[in-house]
Amino acid sequence: MTGFSEDPREAPPVSPCPDAVFDALLLFAVLTCVPGDESQHRLMAEVNRILEPGGILYISDLLPQDDDRNRSRYSRYANRLGRHGVFETGDGAVCRDHSREWLSTLLARFETVDTRTITVATMNRHESTGIQIPAFWPELT
């Protein structure tokens, strides 16, 4: 159950591109901007549609943070927004940091090549733990 809306107006856009047109796609801090489960599943369905068989997807995003500032904001928004790791920024944007388990769920149909944990600076110059995952969309059999 989530406390925030899966409003279709917040759904990721559908690409005008034909099926299987890209051999590589990069989602760099994209999932953090799509907080809802269903919206993320729709985004991944679109990725699956436009990525050619054997193509590579590279995800770079943020993991849930374990510092006092982030634990506080996760707690502050957990009841209203429905899950740990989802929070609202000062300007009202709803964002989401992702557990490794959730990312594995989104990538269930992909062949993960590697998983790398990195340190990144956020837009507000906070140090955060990120994750990078290259994964292949399987070849047709």
Question: Quick one: what percent of the chain has pLDDT higher than 70?
Answer: 89
Q: What backbone phi and psi angles, to 5 degrees, belong to 72?
A: -65, -45
- pLDDT one-digit tens code per residue, 63-107: 999 999 999 999 998 887 778 899 988 888 899 999 999 999 999
Q: Is the Cβ–Cβ distance between 67 and 119 less than 8 Å?
A: no
Strand partners of residue 130: 62, 118
What 3-state class would DSSP assign to 122?
coil
Predicted confidence at residue 9, as pLDDT, reads: 46
pTM of the predicted model, to two decimals?
0.86
